Amino acid sequence: MKIQLNFFESQRTTFNEQIDLTVQSLKAYGDQYDHWVFAWSGGKDSTTLVTLIIYLIESGQIQAPKRITVLFADTRLEIPPLFFSAMQIKRQLEQRGIEVHTVMAEMDDRFMVYLLGRGVPPPSNTFRWCTPQIKVEPMIKKLHEIHRETGNKFLLLTGVRQGESAVRDGRIAMSCGKDGAECGQGWFQVTAPESICDKLAPLLHWRVCSIWDWLKIFAPMNRHGSWNTQLLADVYGGEEAEEINARTGCIGCPLASKDKALEVVVKIPEYLYLQPLLRLKPIYRELRNPSRRKRKTDWQYKKDGTLSKNQNRMGPITMESRAWALQEILAIQNDINSKAPSESQKVYLINSEEEARIRELWRLNTWPDGWDGTEKRADEPFIQRHSDGSITPELFLTESDLSV
Ligand code: SF4
């Protein structure tokens, strides 16, 4: 939670008033920077941010900085039509002479490689490794590169949006659960180092219905830039988008209770071929089960030699289950691609380099730090150990097991 540049202290506003506040915030803060950098993930909020601000510049409502850079965060897990839509908008930006860079995690940090190659269990609300690793850290690395290259502090623009009430105290939360906000934007806002950039969230006060109005109605109009944002709006439910209020994120996001956006997409006749993607979430769910994972069954100590609170913890995915999951995910991919209408509409959840790296990590017997694969499978009987040093023996274990 951080105090940020706060321009928004309004009561309930209309769509035009929301745009007006955005303009005012950019006039007040943007003019102080020669270089604006956009953190864009292809989701609804950051796409609104990029297309709206370029429109405001082109229509003369705000002054362009000397340089604009758009950084597209490619997680490799975008819902395919969303990715196609982002690629169309990327082309439109490039046609305008705007510099767009794709930012992606290093091979070993990518979602599927980390999950299946290293065996780290799917992210959860208590162990959310994905957002920093596949979205935020690659972006921060790129921001440092930009700063090294220019030597000047720049303005980082994010699509963080919290609606009006949360905005009034000027605090930014990293949460993407509220009001269908876009995963990652709050993290960019909070994590990007102040030594290299200042941050502004010009849509902070926008309501989700205004986001849809921009994407569905205004952005595609000639006079607003003819942006190809309609597809993005359709993906999130078209006319029903406001009710669905889906948060933008990865396919099968293990942190979301339902794949709302994907469920909408696979009902659109053009995207029926993507239905196998609905099988991804159950695979992540299965990989959380004890039968798929390892467990620490001996005493666990902290660095100072005292007993750790976290005894008997479950850990990585077993090698057998990693192999099972890889096979299942490749089968999803094959099922989709055998019906894809064209080469460019094929989907590679795991591409050939990633598959090769996953298999190589298996050959190297790779486990997360602190694990080596000799641990018991988590569904095997074990002695319950407690951080006070006591134990609860398992009924069917023998004395010799107790010495483990
Ligand atoms: S959308 Fe879900 S899986 Fe993707 S980075 Fe965000 S929390 Fe992680």
Residue ranges covered by each domain of the chain: 2-228, 242-282, 286-402
- Residues 6 or more apart whose CB falls under 8 angstroms from that of 233 comprise 44, 212, 215, 216, 241
pLDDT of residue 121 exceeding 60: yes
Q: What percent of the chain has pLDDT over 90?
A: 65
Mean pLDDT of 263-276: 92
286 φ, ψ to 5°?
Answer: -60, -40
Which of 75, 136, 285 is the pocket-test mutation for ligand 1 (most atoms within 8 Å of CB)?
A: 75
Amino acid at 385: R
What value does the mean pLDDT take over residues 93-98?
Answer: 97
User: Quick check: 166 pLDDT over 80?
Assistant: no
Q: What is the residue-averaged pLDDT of the chain?
A: 88
Whether residue 282 has pLDDT greater than 50:
yes
Ligand 1 midpoint to CA 385 (Å)? 33
Q: Whose CA is nearest to atom 1 of ligand 1?
A: 249
Which residue's C-alpha comes closest to atom 3 of ligand 1? 253
Residue 185 has pLDDT above 90, yes or no: no
Q: What pLDDT score was predicted for residue 11?
A: 47
For the segment 383-393, the average pLDDT, to the nearest whole number, is 86
Question: pTM for the whole thing?
Answer: 0.87
In order of 20, 39, 46, 309, the CA distances from 201 in angstroms are 14, 10, 10, 40
Q: Does an H or E element contain 55, and which?
A: helix 44-58
| Ligand 1 midpoint to CA 25 (Å) | 29
Q: Residue whose CA is closest, atom 2 of ligand 1? A: 253
Instruction: pLDDT band for 404, please (50, 70, 90 cuts).
Output: very low
Atom of ligand 1 nearest to the CA of 256: 2
360, 364, 369, 371 alpha-carbon torsion, rounded to 10° = 120
Q: Whose CA is nearest to atom 5 of ligand 1?
A: 131
Contact 52, 20 (CB under 8 A): no
Ligand 1 pocket: which residues have CB below 6 Å?
75, 123, 130-131, 134-135, 183, 249-250, 253, 255
Single-letter code of the amino acid located at 43: G
**Of the ranges 82-86, 180-184, 340-344, which one carries the lowest mean pLDDT score?**
180-184
For residue 47 the two structure tokens come to 């796409």
Query: Which among 130, 191, 248, 288 is the best mutation to test ligand 1's pocket, defined by most ligand atoms within 8 Å of the CB?
Result: 130
- Split at pLDDT 50, 70, 90, the class of 104 is very high
Range from 116-120, 145-149, 367-371, 390-394 carrying the lowest mean pLDDT: 390-394
pLDDT of residue 10: 46
In the predicted model, is pLDDT for residue 281 greater than 80?
A: yes
Cα(250) to centroid of ligand 1, in Å? 5
Q: What percent of the chain has pLDDT over 70?
A: 86
CATH class of 2-228: alpha beta
Reported confidence tier of residue 90, pLDDT bands at 50, 70, 90:
very high
Work out the average pLDDT over 154-181.
Answer: 68
| Amino acid identity at 8 | F
pLDDT score for 64: 96
Alpha-carbon distance 63 to 28, whole Å?
11
Better-scored residue on pLDDT, 246 or 27 = 27
Could you report the per-residue pLDDT of 1-32, keeping only the tens digit for each? 444 555 544 445 688 889 999 999 999 999 89
Question: Would residue 216 be called left, alpha or beta, if left means φ above 0 and alpha means ψ between -120 and 50 degrees?
Answer: alpha
pLDDT tens-digit map of 299-312: 999 989 999 988 89
Which one is predicted more confidently, 368 or 11?
368
- Looking at residue 249, its pLDDT comes to 78
Spatial contact of 384 and 394, defined as CB atoms under 8 Å apart:
yes
Lowest mean pLDDT among 57-61, 113-117, 305-309: 305-309
Per-residue pLDDT band for 257 (boundaries 50, 70, 90) equals confident
pLDDT of residue 375 exceeding 90, the answer is yes
**297 CA distance to ligand 1 middle (Å):** 31
Average pLDDT of the segment spanning 80-97 = 94
The amino acid present at 115, given as its one-letter code, is L
pLDDT of 163 reads 66
* Range name among 75-84, 328-337, 394-403 with the lowest pLDDT average: 394-403
Q: How many angstroms is it from 305 CA to the middle of ligand 1? A: 36
Rounded mean pLDDT of 143-169? 84
- Given a cut of 70, is residue 165 above it in pLDDT? no
Q: Give me the pLDDT at residue 9, please.
A: 47
Ligand 1 centre to CA of 132 (Å) is 9
- Tell me the pLDDT band of 178, cut-offs 50, 70 and 90: low
- pLDDT at position 118 is 98
Kindly give the number of the ligand 1 atom that is closest to the alpha carbon of 130: 8
Pocket test for ligand 1, best of 83, 125, 134 (most atoms within 8 A of CB): 134
